[in-house]
Amino acid sequence: MERVFVPLAEGFEEIEAITIIDVLRRAGVEVITAGVDKKEIKGAHGIIVTADRNLEEIHGYDFTGIVLPGGMPGAANLRDNDKILEIIKDINEESGLVAALCAAPIVLEEAGVLKDKRATSFPDFDKEMPSCNYQAEKIVQDGNIITSRGPGLALEFAIYLVEYLVSSSEAASLKEAMLANF
């Protein structure tokens, strides 16, 4: 079974984080959340989410993937955390899923996994991702690295991750059951 880590840092984008967690869990993916500084994390719009664990309890080798929600200052807080960067590197070295949405691809840049890879982000964050081959597309996949642009794409991005992690039939079933129209 796929096991994915979703880190939450103060200022995360709630729509992105909750949508990713919810959709992946609906698809049968084991999703573990962890708060960067504590278990109760306040999102960019004041919504407090209780994470499953604290970051100290997380090890990259325990997961087949990592998905980073964006939001500011959430993405900057992830980028500035050495343990998050190490987990990204560990998962990437094993060719596990490394995915980020909105502003969060800047974290992948900091971890050094975007060099010469195609990637996207929320508009204007391309300036903070100089090592990649930037694409202004909704969702960009380059091998095991999947990036997307923003909150309005959270559901489409999450369904895309289901297709990558589980199957295209599971993604299609979820899309139909959720009345997604994309």
Relative orientation angle of helices 14-26 and 154-165, to the nearest 10 degrees: 30
What's the distance, Cα to Cα, between the start and end of the chain in Å? 27
- Residues 6 or more apart whose CB falls under 8 angstroms from that of 133 comprise 116, 117, 118, 119
Question: Pick the catalytic residue: 102, 146, 162, 165?
Answer: 102
132 catalytically annotated: no
Alpha-carbon torsion angle 181, 174, 95, 138, nearest 10: 10
Question: Residue 80 in contact with residue 11, Cβ under 8 Å?
Answer: no
- Residues 6 or more apart whose CB falls under 8 angstroms from that of 166 comprise 2, 27, 28, 29
Alpha-carbon torsion angle 71, 72, 77, 80, nearest 10: 110
The total number of residues written for the chain in this structure: 182
Residue 7: which of 62, 87, 95 has the closest Cα?
Answer: 87
Residues taking part in catalysis: 102
